[in-house]
Amino acid sequence: MAFHGTHEVVGNQIASNGFHLPGKASAEQRMGRGVYFWEGSQRAAQRWARKHYSDDKQCAIRARLKLGKHINLNILEHQEAFSLIAKEMLRSANGRSVSEGQVFNFLVNKGWIHTARRVHFWDEKQQFLAEGVDEPWATGPSDTMLCVYITALIEAPCIVWRSS
C-alpha cells in the first residue's frame, strides 16, 4: 500500500474521481511531473500534508500501485544509470542547468519509466533532510517515496485519515 498526503478538498475529489497528473511540474517535484506517494507509511503522508496545508483540513489517501517500468534509486545500478543520463543531458544542455526532475521527465517521455522510488530522510524535527542513499550524513528516520507518472497504475484510492 502507498499513501498520499493532501488537502481534504483535493482528497475528496481524488476519492470520487481518481488521481490526475499535475498540469506542470513545480520546483518541489524533485522526481518530476507525477503523483507522489509514501510507500507503506500513512504517518509520512500525514506529516507531509500537515507541513503543506496549515488550515487543519489535511487528509491521507491510501492506494494500491502497479509499478510498471520502474527505476529504484535505492539500488546502485539504477543510480548509476540515472547519473549517466543526467550527465549526458547536462552535456547537451550547452551550459544550462538540468534538474533531477527534468531527468525524470525525460525518462517518462521516452517511455522508459512509469514509476520511480527513492529514500527520503527526515531530521529530528521531522523536516525534510535529504533524498537518496549517497549522502553519508543523511541518517536517521527515513521513508520511501514513490512517484507515479501514469495514473492508470493507481488503484482503489480511499481516504484513510482526516485531520479535522
Confidence of residue 119 (pLDDT cuts 50, 70, 90): confident
Q: What is the pLDDT of residues 49-98, one digit of tens each?
A: 998 888 889 999 999 999 999 999 999 999 999 999 999 999 999 888 88
Q: In this structure, how many other beta carbons lie within 10 angstroms of the beta carbon of residue 149?
A: 22
pTM (predicted TM-score)? 0.86
What dihedral angle (degrees, nearest 10) is formed by the CA atoms of 117, 99, 21, 80? -30
Confidence of residue 26 (pLDDT cuts 50, 70, 90): low
State how many domains the chain has.
Answer: 1
Burial class (CB in 10 A: 0-12, 13-18, 19+), 89: middle
* pLDDT of amino acid 129: 45
Range of the domain at 132: 2-162
Helix spans in 30-110 (H): 42-52, 76-92, 100-109
C-alpha grid cell, residue 106: 525525460
* pLDDT of amino acid 27: 59
Q: Report whether pLDDT(110) > 80.
A: yes
Residue carrying the nine cell digits 522526481: 31
Mean pLDDT across the chain, nearest whole number?
Answer: 86
Q: How many CA atoms lie within 13 A of 24 on its CB side?
A: 2
Q: Report whether pLDDT(18) > 80.
A: yes
Confidence of residue 25 (pLDDT cuts 50, 70, 90): low
* pLDDT of amino acid 47: 87
**CB neighbours of 34 closer than 8 A, spacing ≥ 6?**
21, 22, 104, 108, 115, 116, 147, 148, 149
Mean pLDDT of all residues in 12-31? 84
